[in-house]
Amino acid sequence: MPQIGAMTFGRDCCVSSFLHRTGRAILTLSAVLLCVLGSARAGAAGPAVWQDPATGLALGGYDPLAYFTRGEPRAGSEDQELAWGGAVWRFLNTGNKAAFERHPHVYAPRFAGYDAYAIANGRTTPGHPAIWVNHKNRIYLFHNASNLQLWRENRDALVAQAEKIWPELSSGLTSSQGE
């Protein structure tokens, strides 16, 4: 049997299996590098996700999927963490973490977790994870109950206004601001 290094290639050994494993390893390494480089680029180009100043966690450590699956904010586990958007996110379980990893823009709060009413009025004020609303399958956070009430009075117009000015406001966000 011919030998190459420590590997033996015989009739029972499949060279294509070796190549498949090697190719898969190269693809995995390439994907990791793209994620790292893409995250660095995205972090520089996109808005920073608001992070709790006490914990440094996105949503203060609450699971973003719990708003959808449980209808309320629920604290995530430190055993279920994922880095995305320049912040660390926590989840209740591996299923929620996997769903977020596949579709983060679906589950992350709109406007990077900043107060939706404040955004509509040209300000970046951090939202509070316990003061929120699900509107058209998007989670919006608010700094206080007064802002939530004001937003509810004219939500569609305020969402449209916030969407219009968010690109400009978010371009200046490079870290957790508005604390």
Q: What does each of the 179 residues of the chain score in pLDDT, given as a tens digit?
A: 444 444 444 444 444 444 344 444 433 333 333 333 333 333 333 457 888 888 889 999 999 999 999 999 999 999 999 999 889 999 999 999 999 999 999 999 999 999 999 999 999 999 999 999 999 999 999 999 999 999 999 999 999 999 999 999 988 776 544 44
22 and 86 share one domain: no
Q: How many residues does the chain have?
A: 179
- For the whole prediction, is pTM greater than 0.95? no
The reported pLDDT for the residue numbered 36 is 37
98 and 12 share one domain: no
Residue 54 lies in a domain: no
25 and 97 share one domain: no
The reported pLDDT for the residue numbered 172 is 78
The reported pLDDT for the residue numbered 11 is 45
Handedness of CA 84, 98, 63, 111 (dihedral sign): positive
The reported pLDDT for the residue numbered 6 is 41
Do residues 67 and 96 lie in contact, with contact meaning Cβ atoms separated by under 8 Å? no
Of 119, 123, 135, 112, nearest to 43 by C-alpha is: 112
Residue 13 lies in a domain: yes
Q: Which residue has the tokens 């937003």?
A: 151
For residue 131, give its domain range.
59-171
Q: Which residue has the tokens 């604290």?
A: 75
The reported pLDDT for the residue numbered 53 is 87
Residue 52 lies in a domain: no
User: How many structural domains are present in the chain?
Assistant: 2
Sequence letter at residue 2:
P
Of 55, 57, 47, 60, nearest to 128 by C-alpha is: 60
- The torsion angle over the Cα atoms of residues 58, 45, 94 and 134, rounded to 10 degrees, is 60
Query: What sections of the chain are H helices per DSSP?
Result: 15-45, 66-69, 94-102, 104-107, 116-120, 145-153, 155-171
Residue 176 lies in a domain: no
CA distance 62 to 73: 6
CA distance 148 to 134: 12
